[in-house]
Structure 1
Amino acid sequence: MTSPVPLIGVRVPPCDRADRVVGAVRRAEELGFDQAWFPDSQLLWRDVFTTLTAAALGTERIGLGTAVTNLATRHPAVVASAARSVAELAPGRFTLGLGVGNSSVGPVGMRPSTGTEMRDGFAMLRSLLDGAEWDFGGGARSRLRDPARVPLYMAASGPRNLRLAGEIADGAVLLSGVSAETLADASARVREGARAAGRAEVPLVASAFCAVTGDVERAARRLKPICAGIAQTGGAKALALSGIHLDVPDRVEGPYPDLVHAEDWDAAVEICSRWVSDEAAAAFARAFCLFGTAEEIAARLRGLGRAGVAGVYLQHVGSYDLPDDLIEAVGGSVLPLLREGA
C-alpha cells in the first residue's frame, strides 16, 4: 500500500510585476505543483488580488490561494468582493486564506486582529459569499451581488487561534513548521476546536521552508533570521521541544521591516548569528523545515501525509525574489519521486 501524499504547493510572493509573477506560477503548474499560495502585505509586495487575477487568467489547473490576507487592513466586505472576483476566474481553484495580519498591520501602526474580530469577520465573509444579507449596523443591511462560494482557511500558530481555526474555518494553515512535536500539538488544537463546534475534521495545510541540498549545515545558515524571528514572537517553547534553545531580544535593531522579511538578508543573517548558532540553524532546518536531498524531502512529505496533513506549501528563504530555484529543484527532483510511488 502506498503512502498518502499531501497536495504540494509553493509560496509565491507578489514581489514583481504581476505578469512576471505569473510566469513562476505557470512554471510550477507545468512541473506538477498542486497549489500556489500568495502572501499579502501591502507595503512589502504588489497587491495580492491583482496578482491572483493575473494568475487565474494565466493558468489552467493549479490551485490558487492567499497565505494569507487579513481582515484588519482590508474590510471583510472588500475581501469578500475580491475573493468572489478571483473565484469567478478560477472556478474551483481558489482558497481564501486569512490570518491576523502580522506583516500588514505592523508597518502601518495597527494591531493584529483579535479572536473575536476573526470570528466576526469569518461570519460576515461567509454570509456575503453565500449571498445572504449582513447587518452592518446603523440600519445598513446589504448583500454581495453575484456571490461565489469560496473555501475559507485560517492561518494560526498559537493554541487559541489554532482552536479557533478548527471551530470556524474550512481548513487550517499551520504556521508552526513540520517538526513532529509541534505538528502533533497544532493538529490536536485544531481538532479540539472542531469537536467543540460539533464539526468534522478540518483539513490541515502545513507550511515549511524547503531546500533541496546535500549540505544542510551550509544551506541552513540562511535560516537564522527565520529561526530568530520565531523565537522573538512567542515560538521559543516550540523550538525548545526540538532541543533548540534561543534567547532573542524583543527588539533587534537593523533589519527592515523585521527579521522574517528583512530586505538585506545577508546582514540579517550576520546579526542573528549573535543568538542563533550554525548548529541551532541546522537543527531547525532538520526539524521544522524540509531541508535535505530529494529522497529525504519526498520521504518526509509522505510522512506528513500519514500524519493527516492534506497539503504542504513550500517556501524559499527570501521575500523579494521569486522562488524559481525552489520550483525547479522540487519540480525536477522531488515531485517525480512522489509520483513514482503514488
Structure 2
Amino acid sequence: MTVLGAVFRPQLPPERLRDIARAADDAGLEELWLWEDCFLESGIASISAALAWTERLRVGVGLLPVPLRNVALTAMEAATLHRLFPGRALLGVGHGVQDWMGQTGTRVESPVTLLREHLVALRALLAGERVTTDGRYVKLDAVALDWPPSTTPAPPAVYAGATGPRTMRLTGEAADGTILTGGTSPDAVRLARQLITEGRESAGRPGRHPVVVYLHTATGPDADARLRAELDTVGDAWGPDGPYGVAGPAGAVADAVRELAEAGADTVVLQPTPDEPDPEGFVRFTAAEVRPLVPRTE
C-alpha cells in the first residue's frame, strides 16, 4: 500500500502545530512528518506534542541529526515515545546539515562512520539489548534501557535519511527504512532502491525495507510560481536528474505520487512550499482530495 503523508514545516512557529496536527487527524491523514532543522524546532518536543494532541495520526521525525545526540539519549526518547504512543511514532536519524553541525561544534570527520555506529547501537538498545561498544564516535559501557519499547512482533523501526550512494547503502545495511529528501525524482528513487538493496544483501538482511520520499507540492493560487521558486532554491536533490516536484490540483498531485510509488516509494509525504498560504487546508487537501486518487493496493 502507498502511504500518504504531509510535512509540517518548522518554518512555521511551533504554536501552529496543534491546529495542523488536529486538522490532519480529523481529516484522516495517515502520517504527519516533522523536521529537526537547525535552529528552528525540536523534533522530540514537537512529535510528543503532536501525538498527545491527536488520536490516530502517525507522526514522524525525519530526521534527528546524530552529531547533536548521544545515542543513549536518542534511545531513551524513542523508547518513551513508543511506549506512550504504540505504533504511532516514526523516528529517523541522519547526518544533519554539515554547516549546521559545524556551527554547533559537533561536526565530525566521518559522518558515515558516526551514522553507522549510531544506528547499530540505537537498534540494539531499542531491541532491549545491553550494549557495550567502543567505536570511533559511539562509546557505551553496559548500557541498557530500563523501559525499552515492546519488541512484539518486532522492535520499532529506525529510519535513516540518505542523499548519496554511500549513505544509501548504509541505510540498507544498518537501518530499518530510508528517508529520501524532497526533490528526489522517480529515477532517483529507483537508483536509491538499487543501492539500498546492495547494502541489505551485503549485510545479509532479507525482508521489507520501507522507503519514504518527500515530494515538493504546491496547489491552489500561484501554485506553479511557488513550486518553481522552491525548486530554484533546492540544493539537496539527489539522483540523475534535477529537483522534482508537482504543482496543480489533486489529480496532478496523485499522478506524481503514483510515479514515485511505482519507482519504489512505500510512503510519499507531500512537502508544501514555505509560503503555503493555508497549512491546515494543505493537510485536508492531502487526505480528502489526493488520498482517494492513490491506490491502496499492495
Q: TM-score, normalized by length of structure 1?
A: 0.74
Distance 1:127 1:319, change over 3 A: farther
Distance 1:93 1:340, change over 3 A: closer
The SS at the match of 1:55 is helix
| 1:209 equivalent in alignment to 2:216 | yes
The aligned residue for residue 268 of structure 1 is none
The 10-residue stretch of structure 1 (144-153 or 316-325) with the greater mean CA deviation from structure 2: 316-325
- 1:11–1:315 CA contact under 8 A, matched in 2: yes
Q: 2:273 aligns with which of 313, 317, 324?
A: 317
Q: 2:53 aligns with which of 48, 54, 58?
A: 58
- 1:290–1:297 CA contact under 8 A, matched in 2: yes
Give the Cα separation in 2 of the matches to 1:131 and 1:340.
34
| 1:43 equivalent in alignment to 2:39 | yes
Distance 1:321 1:190, change over 3 A: farther
The aligned residue for residue 125 of structure 2 is 128
The aligned residue for residue 152 of structure 2 is none
Give the Cα separation in 2 of the matches to 1:335 and 1:78.
36
Q: Cα deviations across residues 60-82 of structure 1 (Å, max 9, x unaligned)?
A: 11111110002211111111111
- 2:93–2:161 CA contact under 8 A, matched in 1: yes
The 10-residue stretch of structure 1 (330-339 or 188-197) with the greater mean CA deviation from structure 2: 330-339
Q: 1:171 aligns with which of 167, 177, 196?
A: 177
Distance 1:322 1:123, change over 3 A: farther
Give the Cα separation in 2 of the matches to 1:21 and 1:213.
21
The SS at the match of 1:68 is strand
Give the Cα separation in 1 of the matches to 2:107 and 2:144.
28
Counterparts of 1:129-148 in structure 2 under 5 Å? 129-135=126-132, 140-148=141-149
Give the Cα separation in 2 of the matches to 1:95 and 1:74.
17
Give the Cα separation in 2 of the matches to 1:181 and 1:102.
24
Which stretches of structure 1, 4 residues or longer, exceed 6 Å deviation after superposition?
319-322, 339-342
The SS at the match of 2:59 is strand
Q: Gaps (5+ residues) in structure 1?
A: 245-283
| 1:301 equivalent in alignment to 2:296 | no
Q: 2:158 aligns with which of 152, 173, 185?
A: 152
Displacement of 1:15 in angstroms is 5.2
- 1:15–1:321 CA contact under 8 A, matched in 2: no
The aligned residue for residue 115 of structure 1 is 112
Give the Cα separation in 2 of the matches to 1:188 and 1:51.
33
The aligned residue for residue 258 of structure 1 is none
The SS at the match of 1:230 is coil
Q: Gaps (5+ residues) in structure 2?
A: 150-154
Distance 1:110 1:139, change over 3 A: closer
Distance 1:38 1:220, change over 3 A: closer
Give the Cα separation in 1 of the matches to 2:4 and 2:191.
22
Displacement of 1:291 in angstroms is 2.1
Give the Cα separation in 1 of the matches to 2:296 and 2:85.
29
Aligned residues between the structures? 286
The aligned residue for residue 291 of structure 2 is 335
- 1:38–1:66 CA contact under 8 A, matched in 2: yes
The aligned residue for residue 221 of structure 1 is 228
The aligned residue for residue 34 of structure 1 is 30
Q: 2:97 aligns with which of 82, 95, 102?
A: 102
Q: Cα deviations across residues 113-153 of structure 1 (Å, max 9, x unaligned)?
A: 62111111111112221222122559932211110132100
Give the Cα separation in 1 of the matches to 2:289 and 2:200.
37
Q: TM-score, normalized by length of structure 2?
A: 0.84
The aligned residue for residue 86 of structure 1 is 81
| Residue identity in the other structure for 1:105 | M
Give the Cα separation in 1 of the matches to 2:12 and 2:180.
26
| Residue identity in the other structure for 1:75 | N
- 2:33–2:61 CA contact under 8 A, matched in 1: yes
Displacement of 1:182 in angstroms is 1.5
Distance 1:83 1:179, change over 3 A: same
Displacement of 1:292 in angstroms is 2.5
Identity %: 28
Q: CA RMSD of the aligned region, Å?
A: 2.9
| 1:7 equivalent in alignment to 2:3 | yes
Give the Cα separation in 1 of the matches to 2:117 and 2:289.
44
| 1:73 equivalent in alignment to 2:29 | no
Q: Cα deviations across residues 245-276 of structure 1 (Å, max 9, x unaligned)?
A: xxxxxxxxxxxxxxxxxxxxxxxxxxxxxxxx
Give the Cα separation in 2 of the matches to 1:116 and 1:58.
37
